[in-house]
Amino acid sequence: MPVRVSEFSWQQTPAALFLSLPLRGVCVRDADVFCGESYLKVNFPPFLFEVFLYAPIDDGKSKAKIGNDTILFTLYKKEPVLWESLSMPGVDKEMMQRIREKSILQAQEKAKEATEAKAAAKREDQRYALGEMMKIEEEERKKIEDMKENERKKATRELEAWKECQKKADGQKRVQRKEKPLQGKQAEERGALKPQSLPRKAPPTRLPTRGRNWENIFSEKLKEDRVPAPRSAGSIQISFTPRVFPTALRESQVAEEEEWLHKQAEARRAMSTDLPEFSDLKEEEKNPDWLKDKGNKLFATENYLAAIDAYNLAIRLNRKIPVLYLNRAACHLKLKNLHKAIEDSSKALELLTPPVADNANARMKAHVRRGTAFCQLELYVEGLQDYEAALKIDPANTVVQNDAEKIRNIIQGTTLKSHD
């Protein structure tokens, strides 16, 4: 039975009450204080002090200071009046029990409200942080787009300037080509004028000879004029018909591929944005693809918890997209949440059906991540089964081959030790 303390002192004003309670040499860490509107208890084994207050107090503003082997209480009254006594008069055991239970219930309700308020504030802070991060990334994306647009405009201006220079150069070439025939004609006219003065100086007996030479001069000029100009350079484009070897109908997966495409289309339509919990989200936050990209960026910056939040919201919007479970499994692996990584990888494999070439890479990753989680849980046999399934999908993957060989060596070493 605890020893009840009756030695204490108290003073009051119309607004507050001051209570001093000695600890009787008990360690401060062992003192347990409980304060309600109408009930005050201090338990410091083997001593116990409790008082059923004369009138209600504001337990939220009231304070207790422990020091020098004394507890000093500052209790603020709800109504500014002087009390006739510290404790309530005429209190029997049943009334004491009711007051104790009521005070405990009130304290539990206040603690629950405080916990809920703290959780709501935490959620609001997370939402605010996510919104700020989205704003920063949106600004960075806009800067990148502006830079791209400026580079595009600069390249366009340079291209237009180059085209203008090419036009000018082509115009000059055309002018030069037109001037060359004129110069040739002028040279012919000068050559034709020179032989006309020869008959005056030459003797008449050589006229036939001069006539033959005259004909030779004109024939040589005609031959020079008939030489064609060089052909302009050009390019010939050659296209080859692709050689296609058709797959035999018995070996094709046309039906499976059509079923996979149909499932993918249904998954894209399976949105649940009409729920009340999504009413305060922005339009881009209701897009699972946008949330997936956001999670991928957060994963790349090693912010795995935020990436999981993004994938969680995307999955709540659409539960039929396998890549969301696959990426969330990678985050759980980084955080050592191995059982959750196994669950997400299994869910991704369940959605990646039927097995076709389009989803082969995703199925291989799902097997490897589930196998890695099994191995970290020291379930090497199950992990080896997943790695072998991944090798059936991609037999040429050397990384998966090496990891599977290491797991076989671990299993063989464990078996040898058990036999020894």
Domain boundaries, the chain: 3-90, 92-169, 283-412
Three-state SS across the chain? CCEECCCCEEEECCCEEEEEEECCCCCHHHCEEEECCCEEEEEECCEEEEEEECCCECCCCCEEEEECCEEEEEEEECCCCCCCCCECCCCCHHHHHHHHHHHHHHHHHHHHHHHHHHHHHHHHHHHHHHHHHHHHHHHHHHHHHHHHHHHHHHHHHHHHHHHHHHHHHHHHHHHHHHHHHHHHHHHHHHHHHCHHHHHHHCCHHHHHHHHHHHHHHHHHHHHHHHCCCCCCCCCCCCCCCCCCCCCCHHHCCHHHHHHHHHHHHHHHHCCCCCCHHHCCCCCHHHCHHHHHHHHHHHHHCCCHHHHHHHHHHHHHHCCCCHHHHHHHHHHHHHCCCHHHHHHHHHHHHHHCCCCCHHHHHHHHHHHHHHHHHHHHCCCHHHHHHHHHHHHHHCCCCHHHHHHHHHHHHHHHHHHHHHHC
Q: What's the pLDDT score for residue 197?
A: 46
- pLDDT (tens, 9 = 90+) of the chain, 420 residues, equals 778 888 888 898 989 989 888 877 777 777 788 888 888 888 878 888 888 888 898 888 888 888 777 888 899 988 888 888 888 888 888 888 888 888 888 888 888 988 999 999 999 999 899 999 999 999 999 999 999 999 999 999 888 899 889 888 888 888 887 776 666 666 666 665 554 444 454 444 444 444 444 445 445 554 555 556 677 777 777 777 765 545 544 555 667 777 777 767 666 666 655 555 555 667 777 788 888 999 999 999 999 999 999 999 889 888 889 999 999 999 999 999 999 999 999 999 999 888 888 889 999 999 999 999 999 999 999 999 999 999 999 999 999 999 999 999 998 886 555 554
CATH classification code of 283-412: 1.25.40.10
Q: What's the pLDDT score for residue 195?
A: 46
Which residues have a Cβ under 8 Å from the Cβ of 302 and sit 6 or more positions away?
A: 334
Q: What's the pLDDT score for residue 214?
A: 42
Q: What's the pLDDT score for residue 166?
A: 87
Q: Residue 298, class by beta-carbon neighbours within 10 Å (0-12 exposed, 13-18 middle, 19+ buried)? A: buried
Fold of 3-90: Immunoglobulin-like (2.60.40)
Distance CA 144, CA 151 (A): 10
